[in-house]
Amino acid sequence: MHCFITGTDTGIGKTVVTAALLRGLAARGLRAAGMKPLAAGATRDGAELVNEDAELLRACSSVALSRPLVCPALYLAPTAPHIAARAEGRTIELDPIVDAYAEIRRRADVVLVEGIGGWALPLGPATMLSDMVARLDLPVLLVVGVRLGALNHALLSARAIAADGARMVGWVANIVDPDYAYAQDTVQALIERLPAPCVGRLDWQPGAAPDTISHSLSQAVDLMAGTG
């Protein structure tokens, strides 16, 4: 299953989850490719811009992909992408993203497209992130950063995904605050309320490698592989 990976916020583990899923799919013999179509926050490597998240997805893919193909819309400033684009005198165009995705899809069995920030993200005066997902025609996996406030963020995200006409196929609970004493209660409350199944849980594992984390996401890997 080709899929779009979104999250309840920025910094809640979308890239880690996507990378782990890619490694899990590769371990099953699938040509798995990651894409980070939009990114803001880059360094320079000669003439190329480099984004850390996009580089991790490239490294964890089992298909060789160029930087511009993995991340066709990359901006220097670490802020919302439409603000970063405007700072460079540019606008975000969806056609190059759609074309890059189509090329990656031709080369891979499974393509996982990681979003940026949360779901309700502007890309321009009249364009939202959901418009890009609609153009790519992808179902959605939601990564929930489990901490104080996660119930509100997760339930609002699920409502927004549905309201925008996208299909949420599952969610992953990622414990991002090791000191939050009510993580399990929060996960259970979301299991009872979210309109899609929980297909994985990641406990607090700072610095864990994607190959290690993928074992905790076997149900999500099954879903992406079409065997779940």
Which residues does the annotation mark as catalytic?
Answer: 36
d(CA 93, CA 159): 26
- Regarding beta strands 198-202 and 38-40, do their DSSP bridges make them parallel or antiparallel, or are they unpaired? unpaired
Secondary structure (DSSP) of 72-110:
SEEESSSS-HHHHHHHTT----HHHHHHHHHHHHHH-SE
SS3 state of residue 43 = strand
Residues whose CB is less than 8 angstroms from the CB of residue 88 and which lie 6 or more positions away in sequence, other chains included: 75, 76, 77
Instruction: Return the exposure string of 64-96: e unless at least 16 CB atoms fall within 10 Å of the residue's CB, then b.
Output: ebebebbbbbbbbeeebbbebbbeeeeebebee
DSSP character at residue 207: T
Helix H or strand E segment including 193: helix 183-193
DSSP character at residue 71: -
SS3 state of residue 222 = helix
